[in-house]
């Protein structure tokens, strides 16, 4: 890993504040990134002081005045080159993502691939930022709408996807004509530094104005500066529901805009008509992938009573075959939790399950011994519960899977919907009527609803996000780009008269 870090330009103590051309000294608190894989310090980052932050915002604001006038296809060409640079660094960056965050190596590579994919999407988008034309009720008039960039996009990202979610936002924001200020998770700042340097190289080669791509590493206070800053019209924040509510209140109080991607409590309904082989793969990967630390992780299995016992038997057997260990070893399925705080939350949830009447079908616990010295490796567990249990209504970022029975599809959908969160959902069924009912207005109330695939993961082409306490924002594909722009309605009078709308007369 030391050779990889050196190849990526990370050695010793680093500044965590950049305007895309210059790295400021970093006068804030120091943050040391420690890998949950082996407990070793990766690097120490000097965070942003308030003075550093203000300097970055001023530079970004000035850069926007120039960047917004670059033709969108030209901005798209810059993003295309970023995608090429990411392809070049995919192996090393993917390993670093795995090492710093703790997800499996294949998931680390997959995260970098998501970055490459969103670059490709954004390049095409740069030639499709279209509006509409409308017929005017007044003769000799034409109406249309167009979209303009907002200004500075503030991006607050989470540790579980330390680079992909930043790219979802930044690549779209850039082709739309915005500039970006990225506040990465203080738990995974090293991957952010590497991404910043990759982008800076591309920007320098294309004479992109300083301040289009900015980085401010810091803790909670740094995120609060962004959320409260009226100079930052859009905040995109990924994290817990608690954090999102605070961001929404702060941004809303200044009438700013926000994109919120928050908690998930995702369920798979397994029908009596399901292909149980497919269902097993989707359920296990959804529950234990990234050690249960995805916002789309499968938290609940709602299983039809006719197949419940058979499926549980297969599920328990599959869990007994899971290999837990160093995520850089491709033979392992599950890596560590991010840190000891996450482990404590996992243990607290296990205690609450027992206290509230849950029955463990696969026991959990913290692993000890050679290879597990960090204390961050835990056993994925399965608990038989009732959907109304308080702990089941709560999102725990850990590999804890809740299972329960249902009798009718209506009951199963009701269980699926009866939680505060509304991100991802799925049904496993070969019955067309069941699939269509699940996708209907009376079906899943989540932003993502799948048939015969799991809850975890998403493709770039679709808009990503959820409802209820998940926040309601959308990122990535479809028309999510509109959130990064302001709509303007235009009316042009090419006649020799000035008729008023609604037939109003005003004679002088």
Residue 399 domain flag: yes
Give the Cβ contact number of residue 355 at 10 Å: 11
Confidence category of residue 4, pLDDT binned at 50, 70, 90: confident
Identify whether residues 232 and 331 lie together within a single domain: no
In this predicted model, what pLDDT tens digit does every residue of 86-113 receive, in sequence order?
Answer: 999 999 999 999 999 999 999 999 999 9
- Based on its alpha-carbon atoms, the radius of gyration of the chain, rounded to whole angstroms, reads 24
What's the mean pLDDT in 196-222?
98
For 107-264, where are the E strands, in sequence order? 133-134, 141-149, 152-156, 179-183, 213-216, 234-238, 257-261
Nearest to 140, CA basis, from 501, 492, 488, 489:
492
Question: Is residue 508 one of the residues assigned to a domain?
Answer: no
Q: Cβ(152)–Cβ(179) under 8 Å?
A: yes
293 and 411 in a single domain? The answer is yes
Residue 361 falls within a domain, yes or no?
Answer: yes
Q: What is the pTM of this model?
A: 0.97
Name the burial class of residue 111, with classes exposed (0-12), middle (13-18) and buried (19+) by CB atoms within 10 angstroms of its CB. buried
CB 366 within 8 A of CB 347: yes
Number of domains within the chain: 2
How far is C-alpha 60 from the geometric centre of its chain's CA atoms? 24
Residue 254 shares a structural domain with residue 291: no
| Helical pair 308-320 and 276-288, crossing angle rounded to 10 deg | 50
Instruction: Report the distance separating Cα 5 and Cα 293, nearest Å.
Output: 25
Residue 137 domain boundaries: 2-262+471-488
- Residues designated catalytic: 261
Distance CA 289, CA 256 (A): 35
What's residue 171's pLDDT?
98
CA gap 189, 181 in Å, rounded:
14
- The DSSP 8-state label assigned to residue 334 in this structure reads B
Structure tokens given for 84: 């090429």
Is there a domain that residue 130 lies in?
yes
Q: Give 148-181 pLDDT, tens digit per residue.
A: 999 999 999 999 999 999 999 999 999 999 999 9
Question: How confident is the model over 257-316, as pLDDT tens digits?
Answer: 999 999 999 999 999 999 999 999 999 999 999 999 999 999 999 999 999 999 999 999
CATH of the domain at 336: 3.40.309.10
163 backbone dihedrals φ, ψ, rounded to 5°: -130, -30
**Distance, CA of 37 to CA of 327 (rounded, Å):** 7
Task: Give the relative orientation of helices 105-125 and 164-175 as an angle to the nearest 10 degrees.
Answer: 10
Residue 58 in any domain: the answer is yes
Q: Are residues 235 and 342 in the same domain?
A: no
Tell me: do 236 and 88 sit in the same domain: yes
């Amino acid at each position: 890993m030391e050779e990889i870090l050196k190849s990526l330009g990370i050695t010793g103590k680093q500044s965590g504040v950049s305007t895309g051309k210059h790295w400021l000294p970093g006068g804030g608190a120091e943050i040391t990134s420690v890998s949950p894989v082996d407990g070793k310090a990766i690097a120490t980052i000097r965070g942003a002081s308030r003075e550093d932050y203000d300097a970055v915002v001023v530079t970004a604001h000035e850069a926007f005045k120039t960047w917004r006038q670059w033709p969108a296809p030209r901005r798209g060409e810059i993003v295309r080159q970023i995608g090429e640079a990411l392809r070049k660094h995919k192996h090393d960056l993917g390993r670093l993502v795995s090492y710093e965050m703790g997800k499996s190596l294949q998931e680390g590579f997959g995260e970098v691939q998501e970055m490459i994919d969103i670059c490709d999407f954004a390049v095409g988008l740069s030639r499709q930022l279209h509006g509409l034309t409308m017929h005017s009720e007044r003769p000799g008039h034409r109406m249309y709408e167009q979209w303009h960039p907002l200004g500075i996009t503030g991006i607050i990202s989470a540790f579980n996807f330390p680079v992909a979610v930043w790219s979802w936002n930044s690549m779209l924001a850039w082709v739309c004509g915005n500039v970006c200020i990225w506040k990465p998770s203080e738990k995974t700042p090293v991957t952010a530094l590497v991404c910043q340097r990759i982008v800076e190289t591309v920007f320098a080669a294309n004479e992109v104005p300083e301040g289009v791509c900015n980085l401010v590493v810091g803790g909670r206070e740094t995120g609060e500066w962004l959320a409260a800053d009226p100079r930052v019209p859009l905040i995109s924040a990924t994290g817990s529901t608690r954090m999102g509510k605070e961001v929404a209140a702060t941004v809303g109080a200044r009438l700013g805009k926000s994109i919120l991607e928050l908690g998930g409590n995702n369920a798979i309904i397994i029908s009596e008509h399901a292909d149980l082989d497919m269902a097993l793969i989707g359920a296990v990967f959804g529950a234990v992938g990234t050690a249960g630390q995805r916002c789309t992780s499968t938290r609940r299995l709602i299983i039809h009573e006719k197949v419940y016992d058979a499926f549980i038997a297969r599920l328990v057997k599959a869990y007994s075959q899971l290999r837990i260990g160093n995520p850089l070893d491709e033979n392992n399925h599950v890596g560590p939790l991010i840190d000891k705080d996450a482990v404590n939350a996992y243990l607290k949830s296990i205690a609450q399950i027992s206290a509230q009447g849950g029955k463990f079908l696969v026991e959990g616990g913290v692993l000890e011994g050679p290879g597990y010295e960090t204390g961050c490796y835990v056993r994925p567990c399965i608990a038989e519960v009732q959907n109304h249990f308080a702990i089941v209504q709560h999102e725990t970022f850990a590999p804890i899977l809740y299972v329960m029975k249902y009798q009718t599809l209506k009951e199963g959908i009701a269980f699926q919907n009866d939680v505060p969160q509304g991100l991802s959902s799925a049904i496993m069924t070969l019955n067309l009527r069941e699939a269509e009912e699940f996708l209907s207005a009376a079906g899943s109330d989540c932003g993502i609803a799948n048939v015969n695939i799991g809850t975890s993961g998403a493709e770039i082409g679709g808009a990503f996000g959820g409802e209820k306490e998940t926040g309601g924002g959308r990122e990535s594909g479809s028309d999510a780009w509109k959130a990064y722009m302001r709509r303007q309605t235009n009316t042009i009078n090419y006649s020799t008269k000035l008729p008023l709308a609604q037939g109003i007369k005003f004679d002088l």
